[in-house]
């Protein structure tokens, strides 16, 4: 299988400017494939302005375009394209930004580009997704952390990888919060979806997929959950290829 993916847990670390920490990773990844142009999918960005969702897409595009220009790439947003499927088919690379996963999946499904993106990426063009953009690389969006602000026709996503990612994975709740931990929520998910594997991707971490090989980038371990088994921790020195060989649940 030909696939080149950069799946990023979060865009911004606390105290940093937007897209600061993953910038070098993104630049090196895209430059390595000789990329000059990026097709950006902003559909997760719904809260950048109260004016309208469309205005939020404009602001999101402007925000990301400036950073990608500094990295040496031309960025065009799919929301300005009259034929989104053609835009995907002609794309040199695809970047999906973070935000609300429910809205992102709704728009991708409404415009009929889910299969077009999957087909294009599995032919080898580089794909970058952070937060919600990493969620949609999975078989479904069921391990998102987001509020369901809208209802997509289906939770099915791109299935570029056979396991689920939980971005922004946290080990414990904030002080004073007595609700479920993230681990408990994932265990709930696995009780219902027993054949699925979930990777808790902590902030400041990336999964780099090349064909049937995958490695962790960043200084924090990956926490892997499977039903009926204790969670396991894997570092950037561990071989993670086994996660690409599992059967999607």
Task: Label residue 99 left, alpha or beta by phi (over 0 means left) and psi (-120 to 50 means alpha).
Answer: left
Active site residues: 131, 146, 168
- Rounded CA separation 122/46 (Å): 28
Number of H helices, E strands in the chain: 7, 11
End-to-end distance of the chain based on CA atoms, in angstroms? 19
Tell the residue number behind the tokens 């494939």, with chain if given: 33
Chain centroid to Cα 108, Å, comes to 14
Question: CA 41 → CA 114, 150, 155, 238, distances in Å?
Answer: 12, 18, 18, 32
Closest-CA residue to 9 (of 205, 216, 234, 142): 205
């Amino acid at each position: 299988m030909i696939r080149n993916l950069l799946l990023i847990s979060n865009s911004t670390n606390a105290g940093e400017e937007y897209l600061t920490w993953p910038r070098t990773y993104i630049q090196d990844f895209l430059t390595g494939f000789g990329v000059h142009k990026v097709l950006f999918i902003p559909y997760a960005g719904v809260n950048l302005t109260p004016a309208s969702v469309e205005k939020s897409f404009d602001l999101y595009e402007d925000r990301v375009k400036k950073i990608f220009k500094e990295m040496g790439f031309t960025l065009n947003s799919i929301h300005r394209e009259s034929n989104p499927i053609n835009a995907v088919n002609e794309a040199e690379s695809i970047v999906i930004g973070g935000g609300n996963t429910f809205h992102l999946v709704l728009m991708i499904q409404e415009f009929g580009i889910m299969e077009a993106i999957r087909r294009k990426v599995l032919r080898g063009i580089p794909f970058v997704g952070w937060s919600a953009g990493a969620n949609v690389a999975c078989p479904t969006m069921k391990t998102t952390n987001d509020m369901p602000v809208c209802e997509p026709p289906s939770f099915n996503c791109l299935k570029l990888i056979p396991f689920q990612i939980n971005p922004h994975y946290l080990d414990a709740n904030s002080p004073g919060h007595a609700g479920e931990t993230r681990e408990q929520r994932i265990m709930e998910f696995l009780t219902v979806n027993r054949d699925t594997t979930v990777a808790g991707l902590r902030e400041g971490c990336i999964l780099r997929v090349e064909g049937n090989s995958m490695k962790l980038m960043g200084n924090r371990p990956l926490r892997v959950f499977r039903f009926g088994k204790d969670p396991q921790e894997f570092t950037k020195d561990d071989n993670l290829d086994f996660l690409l060989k599992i059967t999607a649940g």
